[in-house]
Amino acid sequence: MTMGGYLEERATQEAAARQRERRDGPAAALDLGPVLADIRRQFYAGKDRAFFRDRRALEETVTWPATWLRRRGVTWTPERYFATIRGTLAEIVQHGSPGAVGYFPRYLLKALQNHFAHHSDTICAEASRARNAFAVALGKITAQQAAAEGRNQTAVDVLAAAHDLLAKGRPARKAPTTKTDDQLNLI
């Protein structure tokens, strides 16, 4: 496939994704079910109790990249977002050792954080390329139309908001307090 053919195919895929998002709304991006089903099938086979115990942490982990993308002003389609997560899961299956890990959501979160740290330059450069300028302009027009219809969030914004809600729901960790007196107690 030539570079021009690749760009045309990519543009048509992104246009179709934007059209689906306009039709279904950004809330359709919150459908974490297929990704969680993949995680359950690959890493929690025969461990239903452990999967349901870890489900909330997995949802928070899967939505973490949206906060990273939002902080940098990068907008992805839900397909691209979930493809990146599935790619990271494939890397874990191929190169990682999830069986030796005690708590898989933390392992997955660290893998996603490493992936985004390693590929941050590529992701941000891709978002600022001239070939995305048209998509951004079209996205702004679409966002204006969505705002007129009462829908003004992108899929990344919706996923990031879901992550914020999930992260706020857990209690804050408190450090254990130990008594550290410099002098001995005589009483």
Convert the pLDDT of each residue in 129-146 to its tens digit: 644 566 666 666 666 666
Q: Alpha-carbon distance 55 to 77, whole Å? A: 24
Q: Which two tokens stand for residue 110?
A: 């660290």
**Structural domain includes residue 185:** no
- pLDDT of 48 above 80: yes
How far is it, in rounded angstroms, from Cα 98 to Cα 32? 21
pLDDT beyond 70 at 147: no
In a domain, 114, yes or no: yes
Residue 92 domain flag: yes
Q: What is the pLDDT of residue 109?
A: 92
Gap between the Cα atoms of 116 and 165, Å rounded: 22
How many domains, in total, are found in the chain? Answer: 1
Lowest mean pLDDT among 5-19, 69-83, 104-118, 156-170: 5-19
Max mean pLDDT range (23-37, 66-80, 160-174): 66-80
In a domain, 116, yes or no: yes
- 40 within domain boundaries: yes
Distance CA 89, CA 105 (A): 12
| Domain ranges, residue 82 | 3-169
- The whole-angstrom distance between residue 81's C-alpha and the CA centroid of its chain comes to 6
Residue 187 placed within a domain: no
pLDDT in tens, 97-127: 777 778 889 999 999 999 999 988 887 777 7
In a domain, 183, yes or no: no
% residues pLDDT > 90 (the chain): 13
Amino acid (one-letter) located at 31: D
Query: Would you state the structure tokens that stand for residue 136, as one six-digit string?
Result: 């951004």
- Count of Cβ atoms closer than 10 Å to residue 72 Cβ: 12
pLDDT confidence of residue 97:
78
pLDDT, residue 148, reads 60
Classify residue 177: in a domain, yes or no.
no
